Each structure stands twice: as C-alpha cells, then as structure tokens.
Structure 1
Amino acid sequence: MRSVIVEGTWWSPYQEGQYGETLVLHVDLSADEGNEQAALAVLDELELSRLKAYLYPGPRRRFSLCRAALRSILADKLGCRTDQITFAATEQGKPYACLEGRPVPVGFNLSHSGNHGLIAISTTGRPVGIDVEERTPRRNLDELASTVCTPAERAELASSPDHQKLDRFLRLWTAKEAIIKAFGTGHTLDVSRLQVPKPMRKGEPTATFATPQMPGTTWRLDNLENQPFAAALAQPFPPS
C-alpha cells in the first residue's frame, strides 16, 4: 500500500475551538471525482475490501471520504504516516486507532448523513461521540418518536407545531446517538429512557447531565446543528 498524505481538500474545522480539547471537523461528502480518487489512495487493503461491499455510489463515497479524512487527521495529530495507522474495536464495537499495533491516546468518532460528515477527535483520549442527520422528511416520525423518546419528550413533540416537529425530533435523536456512541457500549442502552436535558430540548446550545444508565460520569452535550443538518457532540464533563 502506498503511503499518501493528502491535504484537507474535503474537510475543515467546524465551529473551531468550542469544545475543550475535542476537535470537530466537517467532511464534504458531495460527489467530486478528484476527492474520491485521493481518498482511495489513503485507504488500506481492509478498507478497500470493505468498500467493495457497498452496492451504490453514495455509500461508497461517504465511507471512503470519511475514512480517508479520519486517517489523515489522525496521522497529522500523531506525527506519522497514514499507512502506519490501523483500526480495531472493543468487544462492544467502539472503534479505536492503533499505531504500529498499539492503541493510541487519541479518541475519535465519526458520523455521516447525505453530503455531510462530522469527525470528533479527542486529543486527550477521552471518549467522545458525535452524530449528524440531514434534515430530510421522515414519513414515520410519530412511530420513531414512540420508540426512542421518553414520555416527556413525546409530549413535547406532540404539542409542537407541525413545521417544527422534524427539527425537534432530530435534535433529540442526534443527542441520544452521540451519547450512546460516547459511552461505547453499542445500543445496549434503552434510548427511550435516556432523556435529553430540558435546556437542550428547548434549544440551548449546550447542557450537562447524568443518568443512572451510565453511573459515575457527568456528560456534556453540545448542539452542533445548522440549516442543512442536525448534529450533536457528547463527551465527559468537564471536557479536558
């Protein structure tokens, strides 16, 4: 495999400097042949093999661009080549990076939806979770809410004007997904019992909370949403 360091032509800092030592970067996943070819040159053999399993161009593009960006960002932070980095996962499925076979003290998480990807890098190695969802209509919004929301959250959604329901649901869903990904136990948590803090449900940009489902840790949630997408970041509080 060739060792290639690529410039950040399709990723850039997102709301830089607002989350302690955690860096958040936006990945442009729109179709671009030049970016896609550059990304392929960064992926290792295992990633290229995984890429073949995707049947459609959109998922292939999102995987390759996000994974190549992640490799390049980690290589920059670790002062190494992209081909020296490998990836593994815990028993619960949370991924981590290795340098020459040894786990590195850098935490990360990524998410993508449509033409947008977000990558969170914890330079202190603390757990971090991020989620992004493009604002596209959901035909089964009420059914989704009944599955993943607490009674209080469902009541607030039911009383919301129709034109606000999707945005409010996505704010809840991305926050819950970010928390689950930061905690690192997969979907063993019951999201219908995991209540997003009321200040964030009301539109505040950040909130802290603790939950019996994750004892011993206070968590910070940040609302990263903008017009094209809803997004959230979760990490232990206080962030380093």
Structure 2
Amino acid sequence: MQADMIQSWIRPVCRIGTVSVVHIDLALDEAHERHAVSWLHEQERQRWQRYQVDRPRREFAFCRSALRYLLCQQLGCNNYELSIATADHGKPYALLHGKPVSIRFNVSHSDPHGLITIREGLRVGVDVEAGLRKRDFDGISEMVFGPNEREEILSVKGAKKARLFFRYWTLKEALLKGLGTGLSTDLTKIELPQNVRHGAPRGIFQSPSDPATHWQLQDLSTQQYTAAIASEIVSSDPNYTSHTET
C-alpha cells in the first residue's frame, strides 16, 4: 500500500514539546480519495459509504487514512495490525493487535483544512475552524463562555468580534476534546487563562475540579484558519512550552 501518496496531502505544522501537529489538505481529487479509502478497514469503509454528502465523506477518508499512516509510523507497525475504537463520550483511541496503545491523538477538520495532533502518553485535543462564518456570536457566547469571556466578546464588533469568538471557541473546544468529557462539561464554568484572553499565544489552564491536572493551550491560527491545541502537561517537563515550527 503506497504511503507516498498520503504524504502528498499531509504537512507537518509544528512540534510543541512532545506534541506533533500535522495539517491535512482536504481539497483534493477523486484519485486521492480512492487511495485514502484503500487505507480504511472494513467498518471504516462502511462508515465512509454511509455519508450522503461529498464533503464530510471526503473529510473522513482523508483524515482517517492520514491518522492511520501517522500511527503506523509512530508504532512501527503495518496498517492491518492497527484498529481504532471509540471510548466514552466518543473519543477515539488506537489498538495494536487488539490491545490499547499509549499514543494519544486528536483530529479536527473544517473544509478545506484538517489538523491531527499526536503524542505519547498524555492527553491532547485540537480544533480548527476555516474562515469567519457569520453566527449569532453573542447568543452562542451565553451558552459556551464564562462571564469574563462573554464580556470581552460583547465589547467588540464586526470582524474583530468574529476573530475573538473563533479564537476563544477553538481554544475551549480543543480543551474539551483533550479532556474527553464531551458535553458533560459545562464550558461556562471554566474560562481561558487571562493572558491568553489578552492575546498571548499560549497559556496554562488549571481545572477547578482537578487542580492536579494542568493543560497548555496554544493558539495555532493562520490567515487561512483559526486553530488551537490543548496538551495535558506535567509541571516537571521542561519542554512543555517549547514551540518548534516545521
């Protein structure tokens, strides 16, 4: 099974501590999609076939095949030896020969961009939003942001409001996906670190319900998309704030 074709739609973005971030190009042709599907296992192909709309079907094929390729590289295994299952709250995890592995990963996509984060051991989450789609920013803010975050979004207008909303949204969504708790987490009860809300590209989040757990939040936004990752950290790790562009 050719891996060089998959390499044509994945691109390393950066490495932050032990976390690797990879970009997936989702705007490719049918030949690439056919090759992506060839990497899927039978249940994944059935899932791919059930999609009724081209865009999400293509996103699933490209992201899942790229994830399989990256996991095979990390684990030093063949694709047929690898399986991907789903835990509580819908978070996927990898198994090798039917046994869970210690590698953690997360996937997000917003056509035409996908992002995959992968690391050893600790939890990680990622979120990406392409463009600045018009939404009821103030109304949604009431449901997903804390009081300081809502006040800051209400204080700005137009494109600045959209940029701030999606920045906060991707940072909190990445954190939620990293936690793996799904909708059971009340996002209005947790707020982004003050330095991040005031423009810093990264900051440390400490969960009020779990003070022993810390997360590094990192803004990865570009001119093409808004994105962020959340990485579980240990305070003794001297590398958790390092950010290397690749």
With the shorter chain as reference, the TM-score category is over 0.9
Corresponding position: 1:230 with 2:226: yes
Distance 1:74 1:211 in 2: 29
Distance 2:207 2:122 in 1: 18
User: Which of 203, 206, 217 is the matching residue for 1:210?
Assistant: 206
CA distance in 2, matches of 1:83, 1:233: 29
CA separation of 1:32/1:213 partners in 2, compared to 1, >3 Å: closer, same or farther?
farther
For residue 97 of structure 1, the aligned residue among 94, 99, 105 is: 94
1:63 aligns with 2:60: yes
TM-score (norm 2): 0.91
Note the 1:124-163 alignment, pairs <5 A: 124-163=120-159
Alpha-carbon separation, structure 2, partners of 1:12 and 1:93: 26
Which residue of the partner structure matches residue 84 of structure 1?
A: 81
Deviation at 1:5, TM superposition (A): 4.3
Q: What does residue 42 of structure 1 align with? A: 39
Q: Which residue, out of 22, 26, 46, partners 2:23?
A: 26
- Name the SS of the counterpart of 1:209 in structure 2: strand
| 1:138 positional shift | 2.1
What does the per-residue CA deviation read over 1:55-102, in whole Å, with 9 as the maximum and x for residues that have no partner? 111010000000000000100111111121101122333211001101
Query: Is the CA contact (8 Å cut-off) linking 1:223 and 1:232 kept in structure 2?
Result: yes
SS at match of 1:182: helix
Equivalent position amino acid for 1:178 in 2: A
Residue type of the alignment partner of 2:76: G
Contiguous gaps of at least 5 residues in structure 1: none
CA contact (8 A) 2:114 2:128 kept: yes
CA distance, structure 2, for counterparts of residue 184 and residue 139 of structure 1: 26
Select the structure with the greater relative contact order (CA < 8 A; seq sep ≥ 6).
Answer: 2
2:243: which partner in 1? none
Percent identity, aligned pairs only, is 39
Q: Which runs of 5+ in 2 are unaligned?
A: 241-246
RMSD of Structure 2 on Structure 1 (CA): 1.4
TM-score (norm 1): 0.93
1:194 aligns with 2:193: no
- How far 1:155 moved relative to its partner? 0.8
- Give 1 or 2: higher strand fraction: 2
Q: Which of 3, 6, 15 does residue 6 from structure 1 map onto?
A: 3
Q: Aligned equivalents of 2:192 and 2:158: distance in 1?
A: 21
User: Any conservation in 1 of the 2:174–2:230 contact (CA below 8 Å)?
Assistant: yes
Rounded Cα–Cα distance in structure 2 between residues aligned with 1:138 and 1:213: 34
1:182 aligns with 2:178: yes
Contact 2:129/2:226 (8 A) holds in 1: yes
One-letter identity of the residue aligned with 1:212: P
Amino acid at match of 2:154: A
User: 1: CA distance between counterparts of 2:131 and 2:194?
Assistant: 22
Alignment partners' CA distance in 2, 1:139 and 1:109: 26
Contact persistence 1:128–1:233 (CA under 8 A): yes
Give 2:148's aligned amino acid: A
Residues of 1 paired with 2:135 and 2:87: CA distance? Answer: 35
Equivalent residue letter for 1:48: R
Residue identity opposite 2:89 in structure 1: Q
**Number of equivalent positions:** 234
The residue type equivalent to 1:200 in the other structure is V
